[in-house]
Structure 1
Amino acid sequence: MVEIFFGIITRQCLKRGTFSSVKDLEETMERYIENYNKDAKPFTWTKSAEYLLGKMKRKQTINTEH
């Protein structure tokens, strides 16, 4: 979930931004997060735990054939 949130910040806040200092970058991110939290929605898993665990198990089996 943290990686997803950082991806959102990167795309929506930082990608085309120009920052004159670290302080400017920090203030921009803080403003973005403040505004984001005003209308924040929880992340929703679209796959069940059983599906994800099964997928991991299948991938481990595939990767062991060297």
Structure 2
Amino acid sequence: MKLIRRGVNRSVKDLQRDVTAWAEEWNANPRLYVWTKTADEILETLAAYCQRINDSGH
């Protein structure tokens, strides 16, 4: 939902309102989530991310 994208809301109150509206809409008209990657592909992506942040020097 575009209403809950980063930088769209000008206050926490506006963000809370939009998240609540999104949740109510989702619950009224739920859709099945379809995985597009295998578990192995997801774990490989996660491992690569973890390696990047561990090597960042922070």
Instruction: Name the TM-score class by shorter chain.
Output: 0.3 to 0.5
The TM-score with structure 2 as length reference comes to 0.44
Could you tell me the TM-score, scaled by structure 1's length? 0.40
Higher-Rg member (1/2): 1
Kindly indicate which of the two structures has a greater share of residues assigned to helix.
1
Q: Which has the higher contact order (CA 8 A, sep 6+)?
A: 1
